[in-house]
Amino acid sequence: MSTVLVIGASRGIGLELVRQYREAGDRVIATARDDAGLQRLRALDAHALKVDVTDPASVSGLAWQLDGEKLDVALYVAGVYTTAGATTPPTREEFDRALHTNVLGAMQAIPQVAPLVEAAGGKFVFVTSGMGRIGGVGSSFGWTYRVSKAALNMAVVAAQHDYPQAILAALSPGWVRTDMGGPGAPLAVSDSVAALRKTIASLKAQHKGAFLDYDGRPFESW
């Protein structure tokens, strides 16, 4: 039985990760920022922790909440989406919300969680997006979101050097039918998560700092 941590698990991909890991018999610790999310996690028999990734003080509390744990798998799933393109400057509020959730929260979590992943020789995975690629960009749609995910990818590959006993990787879930992805997305949440779990299980030393699609294929360019 593995111990799995899912940060940002109240809905969508995060909640499905909790469900599938629990169904596989793993012990799951999962975070949500509100009581409704915590209740959903407890209903899946996960150990639920209240964490708001946009609040550095809340994220810093992970260290003591996880004291003594060894994490075989940790996942940073929390994220928010923006759609506006480069013809409209982002508001400060929009920019701060995206960058705090998608980047700063992950950078705050890494020093708290990565040592516990190293203790188990485990894997720390960050849910990113193919929209975070710098090469092959087809439009400015989701401008601020793109910037935040490119920054997350850099944070992961840079942090890998400080935690050599763990594998840190950025994985895209694909375009998924969630509140964020919308009803027209081609991938069901269950299929995306099943593929993500298979890819995570297959991560080896050569994947340290990698940027991969949900099915394990590397992106042609960052």
Secondary structure in 3-state letters for 7-30 = ECCCCHHHHHHHHHHHHCCCEEEE
The total number of structural domains in the chain stands at: 1
Q: Is 19 a domain residue?
A: yes
pLDDT for 182 equals 73
Residue 64 counted as domain residue: yes
Tell me whether residue 217 is in a domain: no
pLDDT score recorded for residue 222? 61
Distance CA 14, CA 41 (A): 10
Secondary element (H or E) of residue 98: helix 92-99
**Residue range(s) defining the domain that contains residue 97:** 3-212
Please report whether residue 218 resides in a domain.
no
Domain presence at residue 219: no
pLDDT score recorded for residue 135? 84
What CATH number is associated with residue 131?
Answer: 3.40.50.720
Q: How far is CA 126 from CA 78, 87, 102, 163, 183, in A?
A: 9, 29, 10, 15, 24
Largest CA distance in the chain: 50
pTM of the model: 0.95
User: Residue 46 domain-assigned?
Assistant: yes
What token pair was written down for 50?
Answer: 């209240």
Report the pLDDT value the prediction gives residue 146, as an integer from 0 to 100: 95
In a domain, 221, yes or no: no
DSSP letter at 115?
H
Name residues whose C-beta falls within 8 Å of residue 131's C-beta, 6 or more positions apart in sequence: 142, 145, 146, 149
Distance CA 132, CA 151 (A): 8
Task: Please give the average pLDDT of every successive group of 10 residues along the chain, which has 222 residues.
Answer: 96 96 98 97 98 93 93 97 92 96 97 97 96 87 94 97 98 82 79 97 97 90 60
Say if 72 falls within a structural domain: yes
